[in-house]
Amino acid sequence: MTHLRSDSCISVTQLKKKYGEKTALDEVSFEVNYGKVFGFLGPNGAGKSTTINILTTLLLPSSGNVKIFGLDVNKASSAIRKRIGVVSQQPSSEANLTVERAMDLYGLMWGIERTKRKEKITEIINSFDLQEIRNVKNDELSIGQKRRVQVAREFIHEMDLLFLDEPTVGLDPTARRVLLDYIKSQVKSGLTVFFTTHIMEEAEYLCDDIAIINRGKIIAFDTPLGLKKKYGKENIIQIQIKEKISELILKLASNVSPDSQIIKDGENSLKITSIDPQNTLTKLIENFTLKGIKIINVSISSPSLEDVFLTMVK
């Protein structure tokens, strides 16, 4: 893996992307250093795939400056493509080929010679626990198995930077952990990873830095811990009640604690942010009891990355 250590691996300055009248990315700027995992988080439609498509040279920016390995995406797309790996949300489909044969073909496309391909495929099949399905045809695989194969095969070729767009969708917890740990091991060897997910624990487990994008704008950038410290000053009160959470109950909670974020958390549970959780909780219990609302359980906890995310993109 060849690094231009003096520059950032990814450098994005005032990136704009418009689809007709719709602004998908609005003055987006961030840097990703070599050998790091960068988490790009945001709700549906925030602009993550658009950013990935521009960074991987599949889509032209409307304006702004994007450099990968110090190279301009508008001018050096083929040089960039040779050094990156991309796992997009679109499934790859070689329906009639077995997992092993499809991997071999993928390696061939990357110009890897036969002996090296064999070596790499064995390594990947073992690392991703794919032994049992190595001779199964792609169209006979489950959704999760297909996704595992799609992610695994990307590691057949050498690369300096890997884009993973929601790589763990459909994976069971064991497969997910195997993948995250494999990524970690590759990052230790120098790989840089651009990673999107909707699963916050995953981002916390894997990412060195996180940017949160909402409606085409970056609204936060920090380490996972930094985000929690900066944006998660408030504690989280969780109240579980017997009846279903109604608009009336949400209104009551909001009247008791007007400065809090109140988030419905399942059918019978509420999450309420507070800088003075003991006091807020006492008031909530008093008011709920007065209205005959039966409380089953209460707890106070410090915020998770998911709490920070939910609060920020509200």
Ligand X SMILES: Nc1ncnc2c1ncn2[C@@H]1O[C@H](COP(=O)(O)OP(=O)(O)OP(=O)(O)O)[C@@H](O)[C@H]1O
Binding residue (CB under 6 A) for ligand X from 45, 70, 226, 266: 45
Binding residue (CB under 6 A) for ligand X from 15, 30, 32, 42: 42
Shortest distance in whole angstroms from residue 210 CB to ligand X: 15
| Cα end-to-end distance, the chain, whole Å | 41
24 binds ligand X (CB under 6 A): yes
Residue among 179, 187, 233, 177 at smallest CA distance from 209: 187
For residue 287, give every residue at least 6 positions away whose Cβ sits within 8 Å of its Cβ, in sequence order, or none.
252, 255, 256
Q: Within a 10 A sphere around the Cβ of 93, how many other Cβ atoms?
A: 12
Q: Which CB, 18 or 81, lies closer to ligand X?
A: 18
Shortest distance in whole angstroms from residue 39 CB to ligand X: 13
Shortest distance in whole angstroms from residue 168 CB to ligand X: 14
CA angle centred on 150, ends 147 and 153, rounded to 5°: 145
Shortest distance in whole angstroms from residue 56 CB to ligand X: 13
Residue among 114, 82, 100, 83 at smallest CA distance from 149: 100
| H or E stretch at 269 | strand 269-274
Size of the site for ligand X (CB under 6 A): 11
Looking only at residues 48 through 107 of this chain, which bind ligand X when binding is defined by CB under 6 A? 48-50
Shortest distance in whole angstroms from residue 223 CB to ligand X: 22
| H or E stretch at 17 | strand 10-19
Binding residue (CB under 6 A) for ligand X from 44, 78, 115, 189: 44
35 binds ligand X (CB under 6 A): no
Q: Which CB, 44 or 78, lies closer to ligand X?
A: 44
Q: Within a 10 A sphere around the Cβ of 145, how many other Cβ atoms?
A: 20
The stretch near ligand X (CB under 6 A) out of 40-48, 156-164, 289-297, 304-312 is 40-48
Token pair listed for 67? 């450099």
Shortest distance in whole angstroms from residue 58 CB to ligand X: 11
The C-alpha torsion from 16 through 71 and 75 to 208, rounded to 10°, is -40
Q: Which residues bind ligand X (CB under 6 A)?
A: 19, 22, 24, 42, 44-50
